Amino acid sequence: PQITVTAHDNSTRTIDAAPGLSLMETLRQHGFDDIQAICGGCASCATCHVYIETPGVADALPEMDDMEDAMLDISFVRKDTSRLSCQIMVEDGMPDLDVVIAPPL
């Protein structure tokens, strides 16, 4: 899938995401250092927080588990579209996504 990413400086870039990595790993691999991913992807730091802004796409993504939900709950900038990007695996057939990197905590 193609992922259009808006970074903290409001710049936007579209990247090709390969299956097999998480969205967090994909973003970091493409140089988006706004995604700090301090915990390395185990849903315990929330520094990989993104907003998935593609309308109607939530059902096509892996469901949020309790741990992700709890981590997002401690964020002051949680929105309806919030996800931890480390909890979304990029897969074949995934729809294209508009992703905005959430402001730092």
Least distance to ligand FES from the beta carbon of 12, Å?
Answer: 22
The radius of gyration computed from the CA coordinates of the chain, to the nearest angstrom, equals: 12
Query: Counting contacts by CB under 6 A, is residue 17 touching ligand FES?
Result: no
Query: Counting contacts by CB under 6 A, is residue 89 touching ligand FES?
Result: no
Nearer to ligand FES, 47 or 82 (CB): 47
Q: Decide the pairing of beta strands 97-101 and 49-52.
A: antiparallel
Query: Counting contacts by CB under 6 A, is residue 86 touching ligand FES?
Result: yes
Query: Counting contacts by CB under 6 A, is residue 24 touching ligand FES?
Result: yes
∠ Cα 59 61 67 (to 5°): 105
The answer to whether the CB of 54 falls within 8 A of the CB of 62 is: no
Of residues 7, 15, 21, 39, which one binds ligand FES by CB under 6 A? 39
Q: What are phi and psi of 24, to 5 degrees?
A: -60, -50
Question: Interface residues with ligand FES (CB under 6 A)?
Answer: 24, 37-39, 41, 43-48, 71, 84, 86
